[in-house]
Chain A
């Protein structure tokens, strides 16, 4: 190493960099960071920051009008399956298929006993639906008005990618038409014809399922999600899909 030559070199230090040069350098840095962050954020469908923090969007911050959602009062479910029956009949669901289902889990309780908990499940009509993102033919999409995740069977090529992407296993392949079918909150069969609730909600004898417009602060869904001293949760929140089906112990 030519130490002697290096020693003779003039110190370039920060004192000699003009402020314009410094600004240019910083600008480049911000630009690089900005592009990186922007790219990350842009790769997902838009969402409000507040929604990412809480499972229930804050008052006034609803993406849709009506912002259709369902509240499930889980502890009241008795697995009578009248909802499943009503859904199948209303939406022409074949015997092997399902748009909604009741799952079951057992929990150990005191005195060496068990408690059964039934969990109704259906499409969560996510605000960031993974199924929509993966569909190669836009056969499934998020309705801009209602927020319902809809299907156009005519556009579906039956690749089943959406079935894989769905965190809630809410889709099935309908052999009869060779397309993927799913819950659409009875939009075509009931809501669009003026009905106020879905078939499963009407059929439930235990008042487990409550359907409505979350953006309407007078609605029952809003009330249930904003009742003091109750617990509200969604299924698999970490997928970041922002579901519109809520569970509560109210």
Chain B
């Protein structure tokens, strides 16, 4: 009887604790089904060192998946890179990122270059490769 009581007491403490932890992680956890892949996309074509963050656009700015997919960007990773017109010129014409980055809805694709173009150095830092390039 005593043993059952002890188990009961332990459970009484444990269950709410587990529930709390679970609730806590649920709130902070990045839901990839809801927000898209968490890891940033790094484009190498047509130039190296360009970044796109799903987290930024969905979780932080509140965009829905279907605002970009599948009309502006295909779901398949790396699909856009294979198109010949995946370049700045096309974006200025309202294609790809330029659909939103028009200077009105979001900052213009022709401005603030280094926000997305984090460069070779930026990618190296992001992927944890040595940044010790100083002479």
Query: Residues of A at under 8 Å CB distance from B?
Result: 75-82, 98, 101-102, 104, 115-118, 169, 172, 205-206
CB distance B119 to A118 under 8 Å?
yes
Docked-complex contact B135 and A79, CB < 8 angstroms: no
Chain A CB within 8 A of B120 CB = yes
Contact B135 A78 (CB under 8 A): no
Please report the C-alpha to C-alpha distance between residue A102 and residue B122 in the assembled complex, in whole angstroms.
Answer: 12
Q: Are A80 and B119 in contact (CB under 8 A)?
A: yes
CB nearest to B135 among chain A residues = A169
Contact A78 B119 (CB under 8 A): yes
Q: Are B122 and A98 in contact (CB under 8 A)?
A: no
Q: Are A116 and B118 in contact (CB under 8 A)?
A: yes
**What's the least CB distance linking B73 to chain A, in Å?**
21
Interface-located stretch among B4-12, B26-34, B42-50, B74-82: B42-50
- Given A81-B48, A82-B47 in contact, is the A104-B119 Cβ separation under 8 Å? yes
Please state if A116 and B47 are interface contacts (CB–CB under 8 Å).
no
Kindly provide the distance from the CB of A226 to the nearest chain B CB, expressed in whole angstroms: 24
Given contact pairs A75-B113, A98-B135, a sample of 6 additional A-B residue pairs in the complex whose CB atoms are under 8 Å apart: A78-B50, A79-B119, A80-B117, A81-B120, A82-B47, A206-B113
Contacts A98-B135, A101-B135, A115-B114 given; indicate if A79 touches B46 (C-beta within 8 A).
Answer: no
B121 at the interface (CB under 8 A from A): yes
**CB neighbours of A102 from chain B (8 A):** 119-121
Residues of B in contact, count (CB < 8 Å): 17
A98 to B134, CA, bound (A): 11
19 A-B pairs with C-beta separation under 8 A:
A76-B113, A78-B47, A78-B49, A78-B50, A80-B49, A81-B120, A82-B47, A101-B133, A101-B135, A102-B120, A102-B121, A115-B112, A115-B114, A116-B118, A116-B119, A116-B122, A117-B114, A118-B121, A172-B135
Chain B residues, CB < 8 A from A118? 114, 119, 121
Q: How far is the CA of A8 from the CA of B121 in the complex (A)?
A: 87
CA distance A22 to B49 in the complex (A): 75
The complex places the Cα of A44 from the Cα of B46 at a distance, in Å, of: 47
A78 with B117: CB separation less than 8 A: yes
Closest chain A CB from B107 CB (angstroms): 12
Please determine whether A81 and B135 come into contact, CB atoms closer than 8 angstroms: no
Q: Which residues of B contact A80 (CB under 8 A)?
A: 47-49, 117, 119-120
Residues of B within 8 A of A172 (CB): 135
- Closest Cβ of chain B to A134, distance in Å, is 19
Contacts A98-B135, A117-B114; is A104 near B47 (CB within 8 Å)? no
| B47 lies within 8 A of A205 (CB) | yes
Contact A116 B135 (CB under 8 A): no
Chain A residues lying within 8 Å of B112, measured Cβ to Cβ, are 115
Nearest CB on B from A109, distance (A): 10
Contact of A205 among B46, B114, B121 (CB under 8 A): B46
Query: In the docked arrangement, what's the CA distance between A50 and B48, Å?
Result: 42
Assembly CA distance A217 to B126 (angstroms): 44
Residues of chain B with a CB closer than 8 A to A98's CB: 135
Distance in Å: Cβ of A243 to nearest Cβ of chain B: 18
Contacts of B113 in A (CB 8 A): 75-78, 206
Q: Which residues in B have their C-beta under 8 angstroms from that of A82?
A: 47-48
Contact residues in B for A116 (Cβ distance below 8 Å): 114, 118-119, 122
